[in-house]
Amino acid sequence: MASPTPAPHFLRQSRWNPYLVGTAIGVLSWIVFAVVDKPLGVTTALTGLAGACAAPFLGTDTVAANAYFKSHVFKLDYGMLFLGGIALGGFLSAILSGSFRAEIIPTVWRERFGGSVAKRLVAAFVGGILAMYGARLADGCTSGNGISGSLQLAVGGWTFFLTLFASGILTSLVLFGTGRSSKN
């Protein structure tokens, strides 16, 4: 971690202290609760976008007739704009810190599964399907259940948080085994 060059300006550092980041996300949740009167979340709004994107493939009538999409209609409301904001923030942060770079196969994946682009992209796609399906079944993801639910001491939030970690640990044991490898 020790760098020979002096630390860059705070806004240009590619990583911030995780406790500082956690504290800032906590404070952000105060603002979201107090100002927007909604919990901080991602997948509820993403469901509306899924419906909008499914419409050209499945037909607008099919999507419009679906009970779940009916209660998650695509609209440019707080939730959807918040998602756009995440993309904007991620982009600006990467540009400002000079860490924007195209990544197709991350290091940890390459060490275990090799350099096949197709393999990695299929895994990411299937993983995405499972993550979203699970998040909808649980009515929230790491943000909506894991952080927003848990910080309100919601029974569902803590159940999600603990089950997610148990499942993630088991899955990574199956996928990566226990063998030693480099950190990042």
Positions in 115-144 near another protein (CB under 8 A): 120-121, 123-144
Please say which residue, 31 or 114, places its beta carbon nearer to another protein: 31
**Least spacing, CB of residue 141 vs another protein, in Å:** 5
**Least spacing, CB of residue 136 vs another protein, in Å:** 4
**Residues 4, 6, 7, 101: which binds another protein (CB under 8 A)?**
101
Q: How many residues bind another protein (CB under 8 A)?
A: 136
Q: How far apart are CA 122 and CA 116, in angstroms?
A: 10
**Least spacing, CB of residue 4 vs another protein, in Å:** 12
**Residues 90, 98, 114, 115: which binds another protein (CB under 8 A)?**
90
Within 13 Å and on the Cβ side, how many CA atoms surround 158? Answer: 5
**Residues 97, 98, 114, 115: which binds another protein (CB under 8 A)?**
97
Q: How far apart are CA 7 and CA 11, in angstroms?
A: 11
Residues 147-176 that bind another protein (CB under 8 A): 147-161, 163-172, 175-176
Residues 25-84 that bind another protein (CB under 8 A): 25-40, 42-43, 46-47, 49-55, 58, 60-61, 64, 66-69, 72-79, 81-84
Q: How far apart are CA 17 and CA 34, in angstroms?
A: 26
Tell me the three-class secondary structure of 7-55, residue by residue. CCCHHHCCCCCHHHHHHHHHHHHHHHHHHHCCCCCCHHHHHHHHHHHHH
**Least spacing, CB of residue 177 vs another protein, in Å:** 9
Torsion of CA 143, 145, 147, 152, to 10 degrees: 140
The pair of structure tokens assigned to 8 is 């860059």
**Least spacing, CB of residue 6 vs another protein, in Å:** 19
CB atoms within 10 A of CB 136: 17
Query: Residue 133: what residue type?
Result: Y
Please say which residue, 7 or 87, places its beta carbon nearer to another protein: 87
